[in-house]
Chains A and B, each alone.
Chain A
């Protein structure tokens, strides 16, 4: 593993179902972030964490939850998916200089 990995690559999900997007980094960065990317809106921050055991809410947190049990993993959970959560989701981690490094993304479609 080099950098950030995300799984799955893509997913089609029925509305109302629960879904967890996985994110793992091997750079030992303390800070991690989840964004969603929608056309014309750029990237919007969902949740973030600056160390294991601590998380915070970003710009669009409703309908999403995160956990940070260890340094490497930062899963994002949709408890009950809705069509407006159809988006491309990116996980990122940040080095001590503030530069964020992004994973390849998960394309999620909620029907």
Chain B
């Protein structure tokens, strides 16, 4: 079975400060890891993914994430947060061998960026 933990229900950060959203995972075999963002009353939007290769993955809107196999983590980061980054963020994992491509999502982390 696979699982994802997002230990923080909410992250508060001032505009211009670094933003980190934490994610740890559990999966058998090699993981595929994803980050999605959800704005109010909208569907999820893809930000970035790790499949293989470089542990530092760069994605949309200036976000990046670092895959750490030993710590089974995939934290999302942004060097300088914007008020418009306020949203709900989801981490997701799937087994690389899952031919159905099923994702297991975390419970989500609400990010609040204050001016």
> Which A residues have a C-beta under 8 Å from some C-beta of B?
4, 31, 33, 35, 40-45, 48, 50, 56, 58, 90, 92, 94, 97-105
Which residue of A has the minimal Cβ distance to B43? Answer: A102
Inter-chain contact B108/A100, CB cutoff 8 Å: no
Asked if A100 contacts B43 (CB within 8 A), the reply is: no
| A98 with B94: CB separation less than 8 A | yes
- Are B99 and A50 within 8 A (Cβ)? yes
A interface, by DSSP: helix, strand, loop or mixed? strand
Enumerate chain B residues within 8 angstroms of A50, measured Cβ to Cβ: 99-101
Q: In the assembled complex, which residues on chain B have CB atoms less than 8 Å from the CB atom of A4?
A: 43
Residues of B within 8 A of A48 (CB): 100-102
A98 near B90 (CB under 8 angstroms)?
no
**Whole-angstrom distance between the Cβ of A4 and the nearest chain B Cβ:** 8
Interface size of B in residues (CB-CB distance below 8 Å):
24
Check if B105 is an interface residue, CB within 8 A of chain A.
yes
B51 touches A42 (CB 8 A): no
B22 adjacent to chain A (CB < 8 Å): no
Q: Is A98 within 8 A of B46, CB to CB?
A: no
Residue B82, interface by CB 8 Å: no
Contact among B36, B44, B90, B101 for A94, CB-based, below 8 A:
B101
For A41, list chain B residues within 8 Å (CB). 107
Measured CB to CB, the closest approach of chain A to B41, in angstroms, equals 8
Would you give the shortest CB distance from B8 to chain A, in whole angstroms?
13
- Can you name 17 A-B residue pairings with CB atoms under 8 Å? A33-B103, A35-B105, A42-B90, A42-B108, A44-B105, A48-B100, A50-B100, A92-B44, A97-B49, A98-B32, A98-B49, A98-B101, A99-B34, A99-B46, A100-B34, A100-B101, A102-B36
